[in-house]
Every structure is written in C-alpha cells, then in structure tokens.
Amino acid sequence: MIRNPVPWPGGARCAASLTLDMDAESILYVAQPERAHRMVAAASMLRYGPDVAVPRILDTYAHYGIRQTFFVPGWCAERYPYAVEAMLRAGHEVSAHGYLHEPPNTLGDEDERRCLERAMDALVRIMGEKPAGWRAPVYQFSHRSAALLIEHGFAYDASLMGDDVPYLIDTPRGRLLELPSQWGMDDWPPFLHSSELGLEMPIQSAARAWEGWWEEFEAMCEYGGLWVPVWHPFLSGRLARWRTTHRMIGRMLETGRVWFAPMREIAAHVQRCITDGSWVPRIDAYPPAENTSRRP
C-alpha cells in the first residue's frame, strides 16, 4: 500500500518518533496578549507541561532507553530553560517551533523571517548549536516557509501531511526533507478542552485515543511507514494518559518491528538512503508550479 517504503535500519518495519511540542503559555500570549496575564487557570494547565509532564516523560524515555524529539518555541526555552536543559542532558533532540508560537501563514514576509530567526537564536543560546528541525506552530506552514528553512540550513521540516513516508519539497532554493504526520496523530482532538481558550472538544480517554494511534502504528509497521505522534506535554503528559503511553511504548518495543529515533536521526538515515540510491523519495513542489500537470 506504500509504493516506496523506506529501508529502515536494522530491518525495522517502521520508524517512530514521539514528538512533543512544549508550547506552555506561548499559545495564550500569542492569541490573547491583552488578557493572557489574567488567565490563571489556563496558564496553570499549560505550565503543567514543562513543570510536571516533561520530567515524567523523560523518566519514561530513560526507562526504555530511547531518545526522542521535542519542539520548543524560543520564548518557552527562555522561560523554562531547566526543562530544555533536562531534555538535552538526557540526549534528546530539541527543534524549533516558532518564537511565541506564531502561525507563519498569518505573518508577512519580514515577520515570518524575523520570528524564525528569533526562534533559532533562542535555541542556539541554550543549546550551543542550531536546531536541525522545524515544526510550524499549528501546522501553519506558509508558501515561503520551505525556502526560508533551506536558507537557514534546516535538515528537515515536520509540519506537513502529504505522505506516509518522508518526501522532498522542491523549491527554487533547493529541496527540503519533509518528515510528515497528520491530525489523526495529534493529541489536541482527543484531549484539549478549555473554555477560556475557546477550544471545546469532547475529551476522550487515553485508551480511546490510543485505539487510533495503535491502528496507525500497526499500519505503518505493515507497510514500512513513519509513525510520528504530534503531542503536547500539557495534554499527553497528564498522569493517566502518560501511564497508558508508558505501557504502550513497551508494547511497541516488544513487537521488535520499530526503530525509535529522534527526528534528526531519521532525517540523516533518509538522506543517506537517497545518496546511496537505496531509496527514491517522492518529490512535491511547494508552492505547486502553475500550469503543470502533476504526476501522483
């Protein structure tokens, strides 16, 4: 069903990276700058991410001996340096996710560039090196984003939903590697409810959310895909939910079919396969060329 499955390392049938976007209160300050300081309960819900959930998540990763990827807005790295330092100390990857979680496709040309550079600068100050990856806040990648990411030397993007396996985005500036996911792998639909944030969804149990995520995992293992949850510490790191996830990671590892890795290592593996000719990626163009019939 996947026409060009990736040859994953060690004979794994599927690559997996549990990506966690540590947004904290950036989503309050970007959406409601006038009111954010008065939204104490909403802020407490979001601060649960860096203060309570991240240490718990790191314990699980240490328990299983896996390294994963966190996407952190620059503002959050400045506000919660201890959370980012703990991620780095344990060998995890920290990638960029806006400065104050600004959706790029709502910004003008100069503002998109300024926010990207400010996001990178904040991470460089704490990491001592440039982040390898980017995820646009709320997946709101703009028509300029791919070229900007290439210009700034990013190894991969993780904002788009165009395939089950990695693919390349062709731009006039070069080609960007995309490591895709999709809304069905996101934890906002099953877990986020906040009347103050104007997001009122029926909250699901962790077991119900995992029904879908496990179904995706089995399919990706069967056909050689890439399994990338897009989760948030303040949602998925809640006690009962993370208890379930802790158990499910154990079940995934027991299958012996999955390669858990940080996104930058998946990107590096895919680039090696492209270079040695063992895998041929699909190439998408963004923005799409006009008046050109596109081959699927």
Region of 174 on the Ramachandran plot (φ > 0 left; ψ -120 to 50 alpha; else beta): left
Which residue, 31 or 285, has its beta carbon nearer to Zn ion?
31
Q: Which residues pair with 93 in a beta bridge?
A: 69
Query: Around Cβ 164, how many Cβ atoms within 10 Å?
Result: 22
Comparing CB distances to Zn ion, the nearer of 23 and 93 is 23
Closest distance of CB 22 from Zn ion, Å: 8
Q: Which of 59, 68, 73, 108 is nearest to 88 (CA)?
A: 68
Q: Which is nearer to Zn ion, 92 or 257 (CB)?
A: 92
In this chain, which of 16, 20, 23, 29 binds Zn ion, going by CB under 5 A? 23
Q: Min. distance of Cβ 139 from Zn ion in angstroms?
A: 9
CA–CA gap between residue 265 and residue 156 (Å, rounded): 10
What's the CA gap between 101 and 92, in Å, rounded? Answer: 21
Smallest gap from residue 97 Cβ to Zn ion (A)? 6
Distance of closest approach, residue 64 Cβ to Zn ion, in angstroms: 25
Closest CA to 15 of 281, 237, 267: 267
The tokens describing 232, both together, are: 């948030």
> Residues touching Zn ion: how many (CB under 5 A)?
3
- Which one, 106 or 205, has the nearer CB to Zn ion? 106
| Separation CA 221–CA 219 (nearest Å) | 5
CA distance 246 to 223: 25
Contact between 21 and Zn ion per CB under 5 A: yes
CB of 53 to Zn ion, least distance (A): 14
Is there a contact between 284 and 178 (Cβ–Cβ < 8 Å)? yes
Q: Tell me whether residue 102 or residue 265 sits nearer to Zn ion (CB atom).
A: 102
| Site string (158-177) toward Zn ion, x via CB under 5 A | --------------------
Q: Which residues partner with 170 through β-bridges? A: 175, 285
Is residue 157 a contact point for Zn ion (CB under 5 A)?
A: no
User: Which span sits near Zn ion by CB under 5 A: 21-29, 114-122, 180-188, 243-251?
Assistant: 21-29
The footprint of Zn ion on residues 91-150 (CB under 5 A) is 137
Given the complex with Zn ion, which of 224 and 233 has the nearer CB atom? 233
**Interaction between residue 216 and Zn ion (CB under 5 A):** no
Q: Are 97 and 71 in contact (CB under 8 A)?
A: yes
CB closer to Zn ion, 159 vs 245:
159
Residue 250, Cβ neighbours under 10 Å: how many?
12
Which residue ranges make up the site for Zn ion (CB under 5 A)?
Answer: 21, 23, 137
